[in-house]
Amino acid sequence: MGGNTADYVPPIGKGQTERSHFLETSGVVAGALLITRQGSEAGRMNVGVAHSEVNPNTRVMNSRGIWLAYIILVGLLHVVLLSIPFFSIPVVWTLTNVIHNLAMYIFLHMVKGTPFETPDQGKARLLTHWEQMDYGLQFTSSRKFLSISPIVLYLLASFYTKYDVAHFLINTASLLSVLLPKLPQFHGVRVFGINKY
């Protein structure tokens, strides 16, 4: 789940007594400082971590910082590919495009269900992550973001490959493979029964 992580909660009693002892022996008026410290300690407890979301997969892509993380990850992939000495620029861009689209296809349109048990008796067992996003609501902002990002990558790749025919064919095929499953008409569709169960 996105950005929220449960912080480690230090044993309050021990920390408090140690700190108060130190402050008292050092002669500092510990009152106000202690209260603020206690406040921040309470703020770091497991507050706001429990959720009543039936299927957390549905709002992973809406969580804080995940879009930025995604962009950074694609950037990282690109930089890693760039650092391989024997790939030329067009090859690097095509590879970035293809690997990004392949990974997107596998994680969003191939892997089904949830890695955890949900309290809805397995409603999403046969649904891919794309179909689970926002409980099937179409054209939400994260769906738009994830639809637009392969297109942007494709436009960049086609520019940097200088519209070469071979690269064009590979990039376009890859883009289609990742754009078509995102159409609302393809919600729940399993072509030729592949990946149905």
Partner 1 sequence: MLRVPSRIGKRTHVRGCRRQAPAYHLILEGILILWIIRLLFSKTYKLQERSDLTVKEELIEEWQPEPLVPPVPKDHPALNYNIVSGPPSHKIVVNGKECINFASFNFLGLLDNPRVKAAALASLKKYGVGTCGPRGFYGTFDVHLDLEDRLAKFMKTEEAIIYSYGFATIASAIPAYSKRGDIVFVDRAACFAIQKGLQASRSDIKLFKHNDMADLERLLKEQEIEDQKNPRKARVTRRFIVVEGLYMNTGTICPLPELVKLKYKYKARIFLEESLSFGVLGEHGRGVTEHYGINIDDIDLISANMENALASIGGFCCGRSFVIDHQRLSGQGYCFSASLPPLLAAAAIEALNIMEENPGIFAVLKEKCRQIHKALQGISGLKVVGESFSPAFHLQLEESTGSREQDVRLLQEIVDQCMNKNIALTQARYLEKEEKCLPPPSIRVVVTVEQTEEELVRAASTIKEVAQVVLL
Query: CB 188 → partner 1: shortest distance, Å?
Result: 9
Closest to partner 1 by CB, 29 or 165: 165
Closest to partner 1 by CB, 21 or 196: 196
Closest to partner 1 by CB, 44 or 112: 112
Query: CB 52 → partner 1: shortest distance, Å?
Result: 12
Determine the Cα–Cα distance for residues 105 and 167; give it in Å rounded to an integer. 19
Closest to partner 1 by CB, 68 or 152: 152
Determine the Cα–Cα distance for residues 141 and 23; give it in Å rounded to an integer. 50
Determine the Cα–Cα distance for residues 197 and 194; give it in Å rounded to an integer. 8
User: Which spans of this chain sit near partner 1 (rule: CB under 8 A)?
Assistant: 85, 88-89, 117, 121-123, 125-126, 136-140, 144, 147-148, 151-152, 154-155, 158, 162-163, 168, 172, 184, 187, 193, 196-197
Closest to partner 1 by CB, 74 or 161: 161
Determine the Cα–Cα distance for residues 96 and 94; give it in Å rounded to an integer. 5
Query: CB 85 → partner 1: shortest distance, Å?
Result: 7
Task: Collect all residues with Cβ–Cβ distance below 8 Å to 154 and sequence separation of at least 6.
Answer: 97, 171, 172, 174, 175
φ/ψ bin of 22: left (φ > 0), alpha (ψ from -120 to 50), beta (otherwise): alpha
DSSP H stretches of helix in 4-115: 12-25, 30-43, 66-82, 89-104
Query: CB 137 → partner 1: shortest distance, Å?
Result: 6
